Every structure is written in structure tokens, then in C-alpha cells.
Structure 1
Amino acid sequence: MGKLDGKVALITGGSEGIGFATAQRFIAEGAEHVFITGRRQTALDEAVNKIAAKNVTAVQGDTSNMTDLDKLFSIIQKEKGRLDIIFANAATCSFAKLGTISEEYFDNVINVNVKGVLFTIQKALPLLVDGASIILNGSNSSNKGDPDLSVYCASKAAIRSFARCWTVDLKERKIRVNTLSPGAVDTPLLRSMGKNEEESQRLIAEWIAATPINRIATPDEIAKVAVFLASDDSSYVTGIELFADGGLSQI
């Protein structure tokens, strides 16, 4: 018996990193079907090949694009007709020093990290079963002041606020909404944040030095937390922000 037996799940941003690791975990825990999304078809194809399971469907699209979201939920409606779990994981992160922030940069971060999450959940509501679990991918940056990441930090604070509000909005349907907030995780996104390999390694060393557990996380460690929030193990947990950051934001 798996913790997610019979469940139908959607993971946005599921082609690599945390989303991909979570898709693998959901399948291992018995999920009936897992839908994953991503912007790049080639990355999605690689993810499906690596998972090597018949009960995974990859749908190419941008979660901040309403037409792409409509296509996604049309496919889910046709193939399964319901959702038990949503992990709104798609996100972007890059540095921009105050005084140099462009409108294009601002719009990109907010569109992906905030607008995309809002409309992913809103458009999924007709498919969500009563008692479903919604997991929002936050960040320990939601309650910290990180240099050159003010727009990103603000976007993740918005995610935390969404979880609080939607917990109340959806309580009559017994739908649980929680925020999963990682710290530094060894993903392609994290390793792309430096301008070059040397800078990326310096940033990782700084995050390790600041983390009480003295390392960054693996994607699978965050995926295990997602399984907890998706499963009945967390049946009395809603409205929280669960930090999986090695103590970085807590000490």
C-alpha cells in the first residue's frame, strides 16, 4: 500500500529539479496518475523517459499563460476527470539589484511565481475533489531579506498569503492548502543563478555555510515532504508554511 494509492496529481514545473523528484515519489507511493507540466517539450520528454511509467502524462505549457492552462485542464478532464493533489511548483528565480530592476524582470517573476500559481489553482477548482490537497511551492525567502532578490522574496511572501486565504476559502470543501518552503536545493535552477560556474559554486558555498545542517538539500528530500503534505499523513494539517531548509530560516 502506497501513501498516495488511487490519487490523481498535477505537478507544475515537473520536468526537472523538485518537480521531477516529486513526480517520481508520487509514482512510487502508488499515485494512480501524475500529470506534469513544463515550458520545454524536450525536457518533459526526458522526464517521462526517466520516470518510465505508463501513468505519467506530460503537458507542455506556461502556467502564466491562460490558454496553456485551459489546454492542461482540458486534458486532465478528458483523461481522468478529477484531481486529488496539486503541487503548484513552477517558479523562477534570478538576481536583480534594487535600482536595476526592469519592468520585464518584474513581470516575469510575478507572472510565473504569483499569477501562474493563482490561475493554476483557480482553473483547477472544478476538477478538485472535496478533501483534496493543494501544495504551494514557497521558499524560506518568504520571511527573509535576501540581497538582490527583493522581487523573488515578495513573490514567495504572496504564496504564503495565498495559502492562508485559500485555506479559509476552501474549508467548506475540506480542501487543505499548505506551503512547502525549501531553502537551497541542488537543482538546475539553483546552479544557473550564477553568471558562470565559479560564481554558482561561490553562491552554493555561501548557502551551505549559512545552513545549520551544513549542506544544501537534494530534490528528493523536498519531494518526501511533498508526499507528506499530499497524503493522509497530514490530514489535520492546513494553512501552514512547512520549512524544509536545513534550519536556515529558523536559527
Structure 2
Amino acid sequence: MNTLAGKVAIVTGGASGIGRATALLFAREGARVVVADIDGEAAEAVAAQAVPEGSVVAVRADVSRPEDCRRIVATAVDTFGGLHVLFNNAGIIRRTTALDLDVEEWDRVMAVNVRSVFLMCKYAVPAMTEGGSIVNTGSGWGLKGGGNAISYCASKAAVVNMTRALAIDHARAGIRVNSVNPGDTDTPMLRDEARQLGEDWDAFASDAADRPMGRAGTPDEIAQAVLFLASDAASYVTGSALVVDGGGLA
């Protein structure tokens, strides 16, 4: 349980779902963690739950804003003395077609899902030492299309290819950049999708389980994949798009 011993990590969107599971796992694996989320109270709750006590601090932040991203990185450096791991996980989804999507909603999805990755990397990379690792949350829908989710699909495809570009740009500095691409995972976001589509949760969950392994994923399972990419066990892995979806894309 010392995979990240001595490391300092940032997790955006860390108050719930995959972000929460990953922040708690990072802390258990020895990292000191900054949990950033627009829901400050929920982020504080994650920090309070983390073990060992005092290894996690919470920051309320909107990661689509440059000043907030700078503040997140500064918190890691000022509180813990450096930065080794960045998990860009904050994201939102709007389940609509192009015809039904407001321009303002398109812009917000792109701001949270894409602009935030650019901003966090822009300010985090200069603070990282050699051996740093960035993990970006993509999606299976960043690698193939999906229905009633045009802005989400476009944003996650951008994240996947931005990850590759970042990996090329920063490899010589010793910084690895990869994406983790979950399939349907039982998170508050997945349940919100059912509400947006006006579907019964049980029926929606049954559709989500329609994959070779016969079930949706759990946040803890995705967190384990993020841990691998963040850790020295993945020291020769960069520019990859790791799919964690129970065989859905297969």
C-alpha cells in the first residue's frame, strides 16, 4: 500500500464517482492529495474520509477558469512541496442531439471537459519533476460514437487526442500523459444520464450492463486503472488510451 509513497497528486472532479474513489485510493497508496471540485463541501467530505489523516486537502474550484486551475496547482506545491501526479477527471454530460442542444450547453461541456484539461496541464507541467504522470479521463465514447450525446462524444474525443499530443510534447521532460477510458460506470453522472433521458433507472442500468462482462463498472475499478497509469509501474506507458469497460468496445 505504498505505490504512491512520497508523491503529491491532484484529482479534479474529486468529490464524487471516479474522482472520489481515485482520491481515496491515492491516499491509501501513500500519496498526499489535493481534491478539487466545484462542490466544495463534498470535496471536504472526501478529504475528511481519507487515510492517513491530514494527507488530503480540498479545494473548491471551477476548472474551466484559469485562475482556479492556477490555485489548485499552487495549493499542491505550497501545501505538500511539489507535484507528481495530475488526474484530470472533472467532467459533465448533456444527453441530447445537436438539434436539441443549446449553444451555451455545448460551450459549458467543452469548457469543463476539454478546456479544463488544457488549463490544468498548462499550470501543472511546470511544477512537475521528471517522472511526473498525467492521467486524463476520456470515455469509450471518445473512441466511438454514441447516441444523444454529441457534445460529450466530441469533448471526450478531444481529450483522447489532446492526451497523445501532450505525451509527445512532454516525454523528453520525463512526464508521461495517458487517458483512461471507462465504459458505463455506476456513478452519480450515470444516474443523471437516466434522468436527462427520462428513463427508468433499472431499465437504464440494464442497458448499461449489456456488454461481455454483463455489468457496469464501479468507481473503484476505474480508480485501479488510474493508479496503474499514475504509478511507476507504468513507467514506459505514455500516449495510451486505456479502455476499462468490461469488454464493451470489443
Which TM-score applies when normalising by structure 2? 0.95
1:193-244, CA deviations, whole angstroms, 9 ceiling, x for partnerless residues?
12278533322211112x1100001100011111111111111111110000
Where do 5+ consecutive residues of structure 2 fail to align? Answer: none
Cα drift, residue 73 of structure 1: 2.1
1:87 correspondence with 2:92: no
2:212 is aligned to: 212
In 2, Cα distance between the equivalents of 1:112 and 1:198? 25
1:151-177, CA deviations, whole angstroms, 9 ceiling, x for partnerless residues?
101111101111111111001111111
In 1, Cα distance between the equivalents of 2:76 and 2:25? 20
1:77 is aligned to: 77
1:40-88, CA deviations, whole angstroms, 9 ceiling, x for partnerless residues?
1221122222225211010000100112112222222221232110110
In 2, Cα distance between the equivalents of 1:176 and 1:133? 5
For the aligned residue pairs, the C-alpha RMSD in angstroms reads 1.4
In 2, Cα distance between the equivalents of 1:195 and 1:15? 20
1:42 is aligned to: 41
- Verify the 8 A CA contact 2:24 2:46 in the aligned structure 1: no
- Verify the 8 A CA contact 2:70 2:120 in the aligned structure 1: no
Which TM-score applies when normalising by structure 1? 0.95
2:226 is aligned to: 226
In 2, Cα distance between the equivalents of 1:167 and 1:35? 23
SS at match of 2:195: coil
SS at match of 1:125: helix
SS at match of 1:195: helix
**Residue correspondences, number:** 248
In 1, Cα distance between the equivalents of 2:137 and 2:218? 15
- Verify the 8 A CA contact 1:81 1:127 in the aligned structure 2: no
In 2, Cα distance between the equivalents of 1:48 and 1:80? 15
In 2, Cα distance between the equivalents of 1:94 and 1:64? 17
Residue type of the partner of 1:192?
A: D
Residue type of the partner of 1:49?
A: A
1:137-192, CA deviations, whole angstroms, 9 ceiling, x for partnerless residues?
10000122211111101111101111111111001111111010000111111111
> Between the two proteins, what is the percent identity of the paired residues?
37
1:115-135, CA deviations, whole angstroms, 9 ceiling, x for partnerless residues?
011101111122111120110
- Verify the 8 A CA contact 2:109 2:155 in the aligned structure 1: yes
Within 5 Å, which residues of 2 pair with 1:46-65?
46-52=45-51, 53-65=53-65
In 2, Cα distance between the equivalents of 1:7 and 1:143? 31
In 2, Cα distance between the equivalents of 1:2 and 1:51? 15
- Verify the 8 A CA contact 1:192 1:200 in the aligned structure 2: no
In 1, Cα distance between the equivalents of 2:199 and 2:155? 28
2:188 is aligned to: 188
